[in-house]
Structure 1
Amino acid sequence: MIPDDEMVFVLAVLLSALFPVFAMMLSGGIAARYSLLPSGGDTALNRYVYYFAVPALLITGLGEASVNQILRWDFMIGYLLAAMGVYIGVFLFAHCLLKRSIAESGIQSYTASFANTGYIGIPLLLGLFPDSPDAIIAAVITTVLSNVMLALALAKIELHYATQGYRIHQLVGRIVFRVLMNPFILATVVGFLISWMQLSIPVPISRFLHMLADTTCPVALFAIGMVLAGRSAEQPLPVPGGSREVASLLVVSGAKLILQPLLTLVCLRYLGVSGQWLRMGTLLAALPTAANVYVIAEQYGIYTKGAARAIMVGTLLTLLTVPLVQILLTRIA
């Protein structure tokens, strides 16, 4: 049996990490409901997050860590294999069974495989592993690895919208260029190069980047709250009524909260990862979808409301699923 006091502690830490998430969404919903921001405010906020806040977060997170901290290959490969398994499975389900387009299937699979390892993961790990210096590094690594799924989703979107008449090498070059020029991907490359070359970011620039980075999750979650309140649309956001919408939400949420942590646990154990790194990787994989996914969906106008619903539902269900994952990890240990 699992000690009751341990499970109460886990739930308390989780609630502490999730409270600001719900509070920011609620604030955005109130702003939308009472028209406290002008029409299209959610779009403007997401453009800010997309072009400024997230790139700053990635550059500082990677640039201020050493290469040896980032390149923990067994952990990276295990986590990535599990995330890729979820990504491919959800993509095939959405495209082949639900008959979604390649672009929308790509965003759905991205939604099911990108965990909120930054805003929720860092405070959660710091609460559960207060003496571990690797907690923040593990969260940064998993956030960076999620950009692999982002690159795949962006490639599918660019392929979907590619203008007819390109030769194959032109089409491939265009897709690669557009993916690499994505602010998230470009910032990841810049941050890794800073770390690899052991460069030091000047203090004034570092402070500026940190100021931008600190606004990432609050602003993105505020915008999600606006969308869920239906402010950006001409009518309130409907509850998914069609069977395909319900099936999509169930599959995305189930894959994110149940399948991904289980696959991560199996892959990490198979590669010999143990101890705190095994527990941290599995717990990070069990977290709900990050707000960054909605930013991408809104930027391209694909699966926007679906991504917002998945983030809200997944965040609520995390109160049940993460303690269950903790029980599983405790029994294995």
Structure 2
Amino acid sequence: MLNILLVTFPFFALVLAGFAAAHRRMLPLEAIPGLNGFVLFFALPCMLFRFGSTTPIAQLLDLSVVGVYLLCGLVLVAFAIAMTMNERIRWNDASLGALVAAFPNSGFMGVPLLVALLGQRAAGPAILTMLVDMVITSSLCVALSRLDEGEGHGREAMLDAGKKALKGVAANPMPWAILGGALASYWQFRLPGPVEKTAWLLADAASPVALFTIGAVLARSQIQSSHPMPLSDYLPVALMKLLLHPLLILAVGTAARQLGVPLDSYALTIVVLVAALPSASNVSLLAERLGADNGRIARIILVTTVAAFVTFSAAVSLLT
């Protein structure tokens, strides 16, 4: 356990550093979008391309991983919506809450952390879960969030929101970086020397800057959304993320293996650990854009990020 904490501590310490810097205004809140832009459009795509290009193509085409992870994600989204909808929390807030319950912080935190803990082979399954979350889970939840917009136009609004969500995915550089890395792996292609060194320098910057940015985003959300809120509005969703999500994947993955699905035990372990990660911080930005209660989403992300230092480390200790 101590060896695991020695690896996980620096990752969570960088999140705490970003939180403290923004909370104490050592980092101006106006600078946070710039950090996000650097990570999203430069550093993280280079990191994902590097991992993708150095991962065997078979690991990036593992349909067993995709099937188990997607099925569990859909079940969790449906369960979270059913359990949280009430007179105050309607489709918009319930759907974004469900997304934050099912969407782990695999890009900014998960891929580099799992590679540091379990080696380069962990990148393949983790990257596959990112694709499922970015393309399917997030698009579905965005579409469901529009069902509040009138009974007669609900379906039209849902379809329109789904189209816009897919356009957003197309504009996101991360899926393209993963695709480019997979093609480079398949063709055994390498970038020209100076270009590769430049891209790898950006890739090396991705993890520390992304983790620092997570903390800064959480601090900004807390500062901007400080209205009081009952624990029942956000704590159950945080528990779904940290406990129910990994347990569901472990149960479904184990059952699938017993039924003969060719799901590698190592890949299943990685996917369970991905699910044990805290909620993705970028859902807060999405909630703000869609008019959901961003204070609630920010609290879920903050609780899962703080608690995951213990729960994620415990999951690694139990599974490896």
TM-score under structure 1 length normalisation: 0.73
Deviation (angstroms), 1:262:
1.3
Q: CA RMSD in A?
A: 3.8
Aligned match of 2:15: 25
Deviation (angstroms), 1:83:
2.2
Give the counterpart letter for 1:19 in structure 2.
Answer: F
Deviation (angstroms), 1:98:
6.1
From the superposition, tell whether residues 176 and 42 of structure 1 become closer, same or farther in structure 2 (CA, over 3 Å): closer
From the superposition, tell whether residues 37 and 143 of structure 1 become closer, same or farther in structure 2 (CA, over 3 Å): same
Deviations 1:265-310 (A, max 9, x none): 1221122136433333323322222444446556767554444433
Aligned length, in residue pairs: 308
**Counterpart secondary structure, 1:289:** coil
**Counterpart secondary structure, 2:12:** helix
Q: Distance in 2 between matches of 1:242 and 1:218?
A: 32
**Counterpart secondary structure, 1:40:** helix
Q: 1:203 aligns with which of 193, 204, 212?
A: 193
Q: Is the 8 A contact 2:4 2:317 kept in 1?
A: no
Give the counterpart letter for 2:97 in structure 1.
Answer: Q
Q: Is the 8 A contact 2:246 2:273 kept in 1?
A: yes
Q: 1:251 aligns with which of 218, 223, 236?
A: 236
In the alignment, does 2:94 pair up with 1:109? no
Q: Distance in 2 between matches of 1:31 and 1:191?
A: 34
Give the counterpart letter for 1:281 in structure 2.
Answer: V
What pairs with 1:73-88 in structure 2 (closer than 5 Å)?
73-88=63-78
Q: Which moved more, 1:213-222 or 1:298-307?
A: 298-307
Q: 1:283 aligns with which of 273, 290, 302?
A: 273
Deviation (angstroms), 1:46:
2.1
Aligned match of 2:250: 265
Give the counterpart letter for 1:115 in structure 2.
Answer: P
What pairs with 1:108-147 in structure 2 (closer than 5 Å)?
108-117=97-106, 119-120=109-110, 122-124=112-114, 127=117, 129=118, 134-147=121-134
**Counterpart secondary structure, 1:37:** coil
From the superposition, tell whether residues 323 and 249 of structure 1 become closer, same or farther in structure 2 (CA, over 3 Å): same
Q: Distance in 1 between matches of 2:269 and 2:62?
A: 15
Q: Distance in 1 between matches of 2:196 and 2:292?
A: 34
In the alignment, does 2:231 pair up with 1:241? no
Q: Which moved more, 1:261-270 or 1:116-125?
A: 116-125
Aligned match of 2:140: 152
Deviation (angstroms), 1:149:
1.8
**Counterpart secondary structure, 1:214:** helix
Gaps of 5+ in 1: 1-8
Aligned match of 2:49: 59
In the alignment, does 2:164 pair up with 1:177? no
Give the counterpart letter for 1:77 in structure 2.
Answer: G
Gaps of 5+ in 2: 258-262
In the alignment, does 2:300 pair up with 1:310? yes
From the superposition, tell whether residues 61 and 241 of structure 1 become closer, same or farther in structure 2 (CA, over 3 Å): same
Deviation (angstroms), 1:256:
1.0
Give the counterpart letter for 1:135 in structure 2.
Answer: A
Deviations 1:165-190 (A, max 9, x none): xx89x947555434422334444444
Q: Is the 8 A contact 1:29 1:222 kept in 2?
A: yes
Q: Distance in 2 between matches of 1:212 and 1:294?
A: 25
**Counterpart secondary structure, 1:35:** coil
Deviation (angstroms), 1:156:
5.1
Give the counterpart letter for 1:253 in structure 2.
Answer: A
From the superposition, tell whether residues 251 and 186 of structure 1 become closer, same or farther in structure 2 (CA, over 3 Å): farther
Q: Is the 8 A contact 2:49 2:177 kept in 1?
A: yes
TM-score under structure 2 length normalisation: 0.75
Q: Distance in 1 between matches of 2:37 and 2:145?
A: 18
Q: Which moved more, 1:54-63 or 1:65-74?
A: 54-63
Q: Is the 8 A contact 2:46 2:200 kept in 1?
A: yes
Aligned match of 1:3: none
Q: Is the 8 A contact 2:99 2:283 kept in 1?
A: yes
Q: Is the 8 A contact 1:56 1:212 kept in 2?
A: yes
From the superposition, tell whether residues 220 and 135 of structure 1 become closer, same or farther in structure 2 (CA, over 3 Å): closer
Bigger helix fraction: 2
Aligned match of 1:6: none
**Counterpart secondary structure, 2:44:** helix
Give the counterpart letter for 1:212 in structure 2.
Answer: L
Give the counterpart letter for 1:134 in structure 2.
Answer: R
**Identity over aligned pairs, percent:** 29
Deviation (angstroms), 1:142:
2.7
